[in-house]
Amino acid sequence: MRPFILLLTVLLGISSFAQKARKYTQVTQELTNQVINTPVSVTPIRLAVVPFAATKYSTQNSTQFGGYLTESIIGSLAGHPAKIKLFERTRLDAVLKEQEFILTDLMKPASALKIGQLVPIDALLSGTYTKLKSYIDVSARLIDVASGEILMSYNGRIKMDKNLATLFQAAEPVVIVNNNNTPANNTPQVNVTVNNTVNNGNNAPTKSRKEICAQQREDFIKRLSDLSSQEKIDALVLDAVKVPFEDFCGALHYDIMYSFSKFKIEHTPYKQFILATLDTIANPIADNRAYEITRYLAADDLIDENEWRAGLQSLKRNGSYSLSTYLAYLISKPKGNDLNISKQRVDEFLSLLIQNKIGLPRPISFETGFLETMEAMRYNQTLGEYVYKNYSPRLNLDDRSKISVFHELDYIYQYETRAANKTEIIDWLADFFNKYEYEKAHENLYEFAFHFLLTDYEDRNEKIKRDYPESDLKILVEKCRARFATYATTTPYPSQKEDRINFCVKYNIPIAGVIPSLEEAAQTLRGNNLDEQLRVVKLLVQMGNRPKAIETDLIRLFDKRTLDDKEKLRNIQTLAVQILGNTATQNTRAINYMINSLTDYDNESYAAEEALVKIGKASVAPIISKLDKTTDQDGGLQYRLITILGKIGKDAAHAAGSIQRILKINRNKDVVYAAEAALQVIR
């Protein structure tokens, strides 16, 4: 053990030299700035902040300091609503408690992924602190809850001062005495006094109301460990409903709802008690009881009419930031509800929204409520599409809301599995981009289109083909040609501009002055401006077989020579080979040029290999002619020619005799292997 302590001391000592302790506000602001400035794919990002916890190396574990630090960071982040949408703290605390998470484990991506499955967030900010003698080390991580990727890591050191020190001090004992008054619910009424003063001459301190409530809750928890008979459940409920669901004593109802949900216990009288409580909650957004009750009602995967009525009344008093969660529990999550009933409830809620009857202290806008509804319907694809189809025409969007609507459309398209429905959503997306112009529109359009592009990883390509079929992309391109053309150059980043232009080239989207017509391209190829020719052939490579009409001009490039820009001309000729391969040229001169380039081992020769395979049958006779002229000294060339014939396949069947000849004259094992493999394929 001692060597470990010594090592820890050394490491902490090294760390102290590496980082200077700074003021509390400097560290918290620096952490906030790093979170704000971390690149993310969605804006605003839905963020949950987990309470900072002490590490096992901390000399003191103060929940007061951890809470103070967490609230400071939340307060700073709340000042940036355009970038961050904070998840309600009380709701997160309830989830952490229910799932029995250990706070220090939340620095791990695996834990963040699990939380991402439980609450509607994009990222989690978690952290720890270690209190030493004169400073406090703080560590934090921002984790993507969908991928587990660590988006940002932070380490800071806070200088200990007198104010912070008070957060690590134990609280002074409070002496409570009984004044012998008993309220109607038989809970002893108590007064709080300090410095051991005595009330009514009674020197014996007694329990505070909070302590009595804690004991009462502990007794109920013990009873919840045995729910083996209906009689025991009825007796527990009979006693529980005598305790109002409020203040400290009412906290026992959290435990009852959790147990009843976990063990699928349906108890009508208790549910009626809970519904009556929900009706009394004046400000649901600031009262965790409303959230827990709503979640309890949905635990059986069914929201009956009475539950819906109570929930709807609660929704009327709710603000915008938690509507999506309540709507999800009341409408989209319960799988036992009939779809038509769920649609009727969506209509009822949105009708109230249109009438300005949702939200306190002021009604929320239709646009805000619509987006909260769309987010809630992510748990039910059909309902999400129903909401968009029937209510999006009413929208009057600002730029920020337009971005949010795009992300909702992107989401429902990605997770829709029915082909016809996906195509309908593509139509919605096309209409959206054609209708709205906003600052981020160019990014959103290309961001969505690039989801369809295949990668170098076959496993990923299978998912892309399933979730983003190219047939839908072609519909989007056809309907939004003007937008794609306009937005291609609406970016300050050269690499991004190049990617967009290449996309437009591939899908035959003309851009005046940027993507030439074939006639314009041919004219450029006939000239002597190598820079412009290089730019043009790079674009022609992306056009597939469309440049077939200008093959003659491409072939003429092979005759060009230069003393000044040999490398540039070589690149142009290599790209010309690729283009002619894409067009599957039948031109004998072009094919012979490619075959002759195989004697070298440069970029052009590898481009020629691929081109000859694409050309296929038309290249077989010239390849055989070249192969028949080789000797046993031409092993490298023989290998390449035979490999090409093998890749062409059955169309190269009449090359069998020439390949057999090579087997007789060349004993190089690589050439022999290639010849045997080719013969198996072409015969």
User: Has residue 47 got a pLDDT over 70?
Assistant: yes
Name the class of domain 19-166.
Answer: alpha beta
Contact 403, 436 (CB under 8 A): no
Residues 370-383: tens digit of each pLDDT: 999 999 999 999 99
Residues 632-671: tens digit of each pLDDT: 899 999 999 999 999 999 999 999 999 999 999 988 999 9
Lowest-confidence region among 185-194, 249-258, 620-629:
185-194
Residues 428-444: tens digit of each pLDDT: 999 999 999 999 999 99
User: What topology does CATH give the domain 518-682?
Assistant: Leucine-rich Repeat Variant (1.25.10)
How far apart are the C-alpha atoms of 152 and 39, rounded to whole Å?
Answer: 9
Helix, strand, coil percentages for the chain (3-state, nearest 5): 65, 5, 30
Lowest-confidence region among 77-86, 468-477, 630-639:
77-86
User: Has residue 180 got a pLDDT over 50?
Assistant: no
Intervals of CATH 3.40.50.10610 along the chain: 19-166
Tokens (6 digits) for 113: 């992924």
User: Has residue 204 got a pLDDT over 70?
Assistant: no
Per the model's pLDDT, the better-predicted residue between 98 and 595 turns out to be 595
Tokens (6 digits) for 86: 């904070």
Nearest to 449 by CA among 418, 413, 419, 415: 413
pLDDT of residue 372: 93
Angle at 309 between CA 340 and CA 276, to 5 degrees: 150
How far apart are the C-alpha atoms of 167 and 67, rounded to whole Å?
Answer: 10
Residues 91-103: tens digit of each pLDDT: 777 677 766 666 6
**Mean per-residue pLDDT, 347-351:** 98
| Helix intervals (H) in 88-155 | 89-99, 109-118
Average pLDDT, the chain: 87
pLDDT of residue 2: 42
User: Has residue 564 got a pLDDT over 60?
Assistant: yes
Nearest to 334 by CA among 295, 372, 306: 295
Tokens (6 digits) for 412: 């429902």
User: Has residue 177 got a pLDDT over 70?
Assistant: no
User: Has residue 152 got a pLDDT over 80?
Assistant: yes
Nearest to 372 by CA among 400, 348, 351, 350: 350
Intervals of CATH 1.25.10.10 along the chain: 518-682
**DSSP reduced 3-state for 531:** helix
**Mean per-residue pLDDT, 437-463:** 91
Nearest to 586 by CA among 562, 626, 622, 639: 622
User: Has residue 201 got a pLDDT over 80?
Assistant: no
pLDDT of residue 132: 86
Lowest-confidence region among 132-146, 432-446, 583-597:
132-146
Q: 417: pLDDT confidence band, cut at 50, 70 and 90?
A: very high
pLDDT of residue 184: 34
Q: What is the DSSP letter of 163?
A: H
How far apart are the C-alpha atoms of 280 and 101, rounded to whole Å?
Answer: 31
How far apart are the C-alpha atoms of 627 and 623, rounded to whole Å?
Answer: 6
Residues 256-310: tens digit of each pLDDT: 999 999 999 999 999 999 999 999 998 888 888 998 999 999 999 999 999 999 9
How far apart are the C-alpha atoms of 51 and 87, rounded to whole Å?
Answer: 13
Residues 366-415: tens digit of each pLDDT: 999 999 999 999 999 999 999 999 999 999 999 989 999 999 999 999 99
Tokens (6 digits) for 126: 């978690």
pLDDT of residue 208: 84
| 51, HSE (Cβ side, Cα atoms, 13 Å) | 22
pLDDT of residue 41: 73
